[in-house]
A = this chain, B = another copy of it.
Amino acid sequence: VLIVDKVQDIQDMARGAVLLGTGGGGDPYIGELFLRAQVRKGRYATIIPCETIADDAFVLSIAGIGAPTVIIEQLISERTLLRVLARAEAFYGRRVDALISAEIGGANSLIPLALGAISGTPVLDADGVGRAVPHIEMTTFSIYGCNATPGFVMDDSGNVVTLEAADDHTAEELCRAVVGTMGAMALGAFYPMTGRQVKAFAVQRTLTQSLEIGRCIRAAREGVGDIFTELVTYLNQRDGRHASILFDGKVVDVTHETRDGWHFGRVTLAGLSNPDDECVVEIQNEFLTARVNGRTVVLMPDLISILDRESGEPLTGEMLAYGQRVKVLGYGADPMLRRPESLDVLGPRMFGIDEDFRPVEDLVAAAGL
């Protein structure tokens, strides 16, 4: 059990959530401010491991949905968050025993903690993907048969839309259409699950992982060691997932395009030690692929993070701008995401990339990095 009652822990957790957001998921800054305000009032969020809850406990995911910048500026009020919880308990006809984040990466890592701090509901140390993904049906919950609906979205004007979708792909489309009408900002309750389901299907220990990542970067920044060496060491010693720095360069080109409700883009980096070296990262909300001198070095669902090369601060896709000096981190996805049934849903081909998934550790070795 972890009690979140310190401002520094919240800042560290938000920093880690941006790294795991792999360019997408939205900036958790406003959520961070909200949670910090709760802590200053003497409130705290309680993070518990999935193993500690009963098999028949009722677990629910509460999330901000829509354009992240709009949601977190407009909708985080105590009143609204409590309304969502009260409505959810009435709708599902039972008390919510624990909250869970649908995706740890980005803004929605902190919404369940914010609600947990106000309502006293514990938050599970887990999420549905261990990173950020652009679609509802790309969570491990969906992949392993826990449906996102019945669920609902509500806005601050009194509109409530309940969705019972035939599948989570349709849930995603209906949700997107409804939230667009609501002004691209709403709060939602989805993925009603049991304790048994989250033990089996959630990606475990990701809230503590965000905290530890953020803490590691901060501690290294304040210390004398190299930030990236310490970060890579931390990530590598955690459950055998590969992490390495793939590129050290500066941004020489960035394109951003909003199309069909998505953020598409591409960032091109030139090497700092050798300006002829080039790294290209493709973006669809999240960073999808990284290629160094034309060779693919990371593919979805493995994680790519782009960090400021001086401060080690992880950057979202929207933050990238010409001239920034950055390092590119490759990080193996949780093993659950690399299983065939997961790759069918969030492998590279689902994003229009004409390559089969290969693990970052193999790609890096093949590229001689």
A164–B174 CB distance below 8 A: no
Question: At the interface with chain B, which of A77-85, A176-184, A225-233, A313-321?
Answer: A176-184
A157–B170 CB distance below 8 A: yes
Q: In the bound complex, how far is the Cα of B154 from the Cα of A170, in angstroms?
A: 13
Q: Which residue of B lies closest to A158 (CB)?
A: B166
Chain A residues 140-199 with CB under 8 Å of chain B are 157-166, 170, 173-174, 176-178, 180-182
Q: In the bound complex, how far is the Cα of B155 from the Cα of A166, in angstroms?
A: 10
A162–B159 CB distance below 8 A: no
**Which residues from chain B contact A160 at a C-beta distance below 8 Å?**
163-164
Q: Which residue of B lies closest to A179 (CB)?
A: B177
Q: In the bound complex, how far is the Cα of B177 from the Cα of A176, in angstroms?
A: 9
Also in contact, A180 and B181, with CB within 8 A (given A166-B158, A166-B159):
no
**Which residues from chain B contact A180 at a C-beta distance below 8 Å?**
177
Interface residues on A, range: 10 to 19
Q: In the bound complex, how far is the Cα of B157 from the Cα of A158, in angstroms?
A: 28
**Which residues from chain B contact A170 at a C-beta distance below 8 Å?**
157, 159, 181
**Which residues from chain B contact A164 at a C-beta distance below 8 Å?**
159-162
A177–B181 CB distance below 8 A: yes
Q: In the bound complex, how far is the Cα of B178 from the Cα of A170, in angstroms?
A: 11
**Which residues from chain B contact A158 at a C-beta distance below 8 Å?**
166
B161–A161 CB distance below 8 A: yes
A165–B173 CB distance below 8 A: no
B181–A173 CB distance below 8 A: yes
Q: Which residue of B lies closest to A152 (CB)?
A: B162
Q: In the bound complex, how far is the Cα of B296 from the Cα of A155, in angstroms?
A: 43
A161–B174 CB distance below 8 A: yes
Q: In the bound complex, how far is the Cα of B176 from the Cα of A62, in angstroms?
A: 26
Q: Which residue of B lies closest to A174 (CB)?
A: B181
**Which residues from chain B contact A178 at a C-beta distance below 8 Å?**
161, 174, 177-178
Also in contact, A162 and B161, with CB within 8 A (given A177-B180, A181-B173):
yes
Q: In the bound complex, how far is the Cα of B161 from the Cα of A174, in angstroms?
A: 8
User: What is the distance, in angstroms, from A342's C-beta to the closest C-beta of chain B?
Assistant: 25
14 A-B pairs (CB sep. < 8 Å)? A159-B164, A159-B170, A160-B164, A161-B161, A161-B162, A162-B162, A162-B164, A173-B181, A174-B181, A174-B182, A176-B181, A177-B177, A177-B178, A177-B181
> Apart from A160-B164, A162-B164, A177-B181, what 7 extra A-B contacts exist at CB < 8 Å?
A157-B166, A159-B165, A159-B174, A161-B163, A162-B162, A174-B182, A177-B177
The interface of chain A, by Cβ under 8 A from chain B, is 157-166, 170, 173-174, 176-178, 180-182
